[in-house]
Structure 1
Amino acid sequence: MQQFKADFFKALAHPLRIRILEVLAAGEKSVSEIQNSVNSEGSAVSQQLSVLRAKNIVVGTKKGKSVIYSLRDPSLVQLLDAAREIFNNHLIDTLTMLEEMDEQSPPPSP
């Protein structure tokens, strides 16, 4: 189980892959829609989609000449939300610490 988790999180360990998952959290998209949403080149998006497909995190379905991607498991949306909440909590803690440090600093001399 730990190995599965480690491999899973390794697959998520790239900013563009996270951004792609955030885009797909809103619903299925074609490669060109994903490219437009993440403002990235086609080759970079295709490369990252390939990693996500290989780890069964996203699935691609052929529709005509296009491939439509979606999240394999809707629980990924909850994971992304939890990661955002953890980030926000850390940010709040850091801001609080900086404010406390600022309050403890002596006032600047005139």
Structure 2
Amino acid sequence: MTIDKFGRFVSHTKTNLTAKRKSAEFPLTAEGDINAGKKRIKYVSDPTADQDCATKKYNDTKLASLQTNSLKQVEALDTKLENLKTYFQNELSNLKTIVYNIQTEASFLVKAI
């Protein structure tokens, strides 16, 4: 990495960096995998781009929100279905059928049972 006299990034060449903390090493490369050596990566931000990693808290919050919203949607749908059922039951009780005979041109009313 090249920096000019004003501290601005000028160019980048392929570099392998290793961060050392006491006896543990944490390899950082521009290409390839990052090996955390079975250690946690802490104090990271919530994802903003499609390919960002997500924290446990972010996922837990989204999952809880999804479950709550899904439950509310199911309850609302259940209420609508009950309303439709009641509506059609009422309509069936009021249903009357008119039969028209084409040959005699007579019509008569048949009440539903």
Please say whether Structure 1 and Structure 2 have the same fold, judged by a TM-score greater than 0.5: no
Query: What's the TM-score, normalizing by structure 1?
Result: 0.35
Higher strand share: 2
From the CA coordinates, give the structure whose radius of gyration is larger. 2
Query: What's the TM-score, normalizing by structure 2?
Result: 0.34
- Larger RCO: Structure 1 or Structure 2 (Cα < 8 Å, ≥ 6 residues apart)? 1
